[in-house]
Amino acid sequence: MQNDITLFVGLDVHKDSITVAYALGSGEVEVLGKIGTRSRDIDQLCKKLQSKARHVKIVYEAGPLGYDLQRRLAAKGFECMVCAPSLIPRKAGDRVKTDRRDALKLVRSLRAGDLSAVHVPTVEDEAFRDLARVWASTRDALKRARQALKSFLLAHAVRYAGTANWGPAHRRWISKFSFGNAWQDLAFTELRRAIEDRFTQCERLESALREAVPQWRFYPAVLALQTMRGIKFTTAVGLLSEIVDVTRFAHPRQLMAWLGITPSEYSSGGSRRQGSITKTGNSLARKLLIEAAWSYRHTARVSPEIQQRHEGVPKVIIDRAWDAQLRLCGRFRRMVAKGKLKNVAVVAIARELAGFIWDIARLGMEQAINKSRAAV
């Protein structure tokens, strides 16, 4: 019967239109047409698809429109995949790109099983990630504002006698400095105000995150990651808000590949050549991971700050974090002693650090589940 055959559907999604193509089983791929993006248009499309087959598989590319369409289709009982655009198979000589051809290509790739799915977070996880990303972008804006002011002072041969680390003394000096020229003072004041505005916004968002994170389902993993060296609250929240659920990775190598810190490779025949890291996947999480890895260039030790973050955390997690520190600090020193550049060594440390993050985050969630079961 026709209803027992799977209907494969490809959607080329844009802000105001969706181009639909489909194939019934192994039959010919056809274009259904172009529809709007309103709820009424989606409902009409769903009725048409349901009339063609009982089993329907839908795919569209991940993009700026997010996961709202996927959730709407999933709520209606369809199997909908959001695929990674960079991993869609493409012919080397294909130089023609249209909405129609993209939809047809998605159908063929879905039927062949050549597409890689993107993890679709829950509404709550996405909301928490949105807050964390705004916080991260505000910190970047603060960094750019500070650099703009430093460049302005340098261009006018103005130098601070102490350490320009934006501490209390440095900020007091900036607030009292004057060029003696009304126009320059106005420009300098605007640059200074931009820094203060971004700094206030960062504090406000960090306070909101600290209030929100205990209500997040992955809060135990946030606490567990903070037992590690180089992973403070900001890094733990930033990493987990992007990774979301580490248990979706069956092996730490999958997390390393998702972070884009595995070496690229070109092997053929008996030769095997490895190059720089792939840099695929999530760039923000990769940036936070590399920053955390730099702290392992020092001798292994538990500072008072790390000791404070250990409070209330199960001993098995603390011991695992110490094992990670011993291994990674020692490996960094050995690599540098062999002549490896520090940047190369840090990337290697970051790759192994991702494995420990995978293990410790899972361990933190398991401990929290066991504790809740024991309480019941």
Helix (H) or strand (E) holding 24: strand 18-24
Q: Is residue 191 within 8 Å of residue 148, measured between CB atoms? A: yes
Say whether pLDDT at 268 is over 90: no
Say whether pLDDT at 180 is over 60: yes
Look at phi and psi of residue 19 and say left if phi exceeds 0, alpha if psi is from -120 to 50, else beta.
beta
Residue 255 tokens, joined: 């997390």
The domain locations on the chain are 2-112, 123-213, 219-375
Q: What is the DSSP letter of 294?
A: G
Distance CA 207, CA 8 (A): 46
**CATH class in words for 2-112:** alpha beta
Q: How many residues does the chain have?
A: 376
Mean pLDDT, residues 42-58 taken together: 93
Residue 156 tokens, joined: 């006018």
**Which residues make beta-bridge pairs with 273?**
266
Distance CA 308, CA 250 (A): 32
* Of the listed ranges 34-43, 108-117, 156-165, 228-237, the one predicted with least confidence: 156-165
Distance CA 203, CA 144 (A): 17
Residue keyed to tokens 């012919």: 91
- Among 304, 290, 300, 305, residue whose Cα is nearest residue 342: 290
**Which residues make beta-bridge pairs with 27?**
none
| Residue 186, SS3 per DSSP | helix
- The CB density around residue 180, as the number of other CB atoms within 10 Å, is 6
Q: What is the mean pLDDT of the chain?
A: 93
Indicate whether this model's pTM tops 0.75.
yes
Helix (H) or strand (E) holding 272: strand 271-277
Give the helix ranges, DSSP H, for the chain.
39-52, 68-75, 99-112, 123-155, 168-176, 182-212, 219-225, 233-243, 252-259, 283-293, 304-309, 315-337, 342-375
Phi–psi pair at 239, nearest 5 degrees: -65, -50
Say whether pLDDT at 1 is over 50: no
Residue 267's pLDDT is what?
79
Question: What does each C-alpha distance from 151 to 171, 179, 184 come to in angstroms?
Answer: 16, 15, 14
Q: Is residue 240 within 8 Å of residue 357, measured between CB atoms? A: no
Phi–psi pair at 374, nearest 5 degrees: -65, -35
Non-local (6+) Cβ contacts of 272 within 8 A are: 265
* Of the listed ranges 102-106, 120-124, 169-173, 240-244, the one predicted with least confidence: 169-173
Question: What does each C-alpha distance from 212 to 82, 135, 219, 234, 357 come to in angstroms?
Answer: 28, 13, 10, 13, 22
Residue 281's pLDDT is what?
84
- Among 46, 16, 17, 21, residue whose Cα is nearest residue 32: 21
Q: Is residue 293 within 8 Å of residue 342, measured between CB atoms? A: no
Q: Is residue 290 within 8 Å of residue 258, measured between CB atoms? A: no
- Among 42, 44, 53, 51, residue whose Cα is nearest residue 11: 42
- Among 297, 272, 275, 308, residue whose Cα is nearest residue 350: 297
Say whether pLDDT at 165 is over 60: yes
| Residue 252, SS3 per DSSP | helix
pLDDT tens per residue, range 316-349: 999 999 999 999 999 999 999 999 999 999 999 9
- Among 141, 290, 121, residue whose Cα is nearest residue 201: 141
Residue 2's pLDDT is what?
54
Residue 357's pLDDT is what?
97
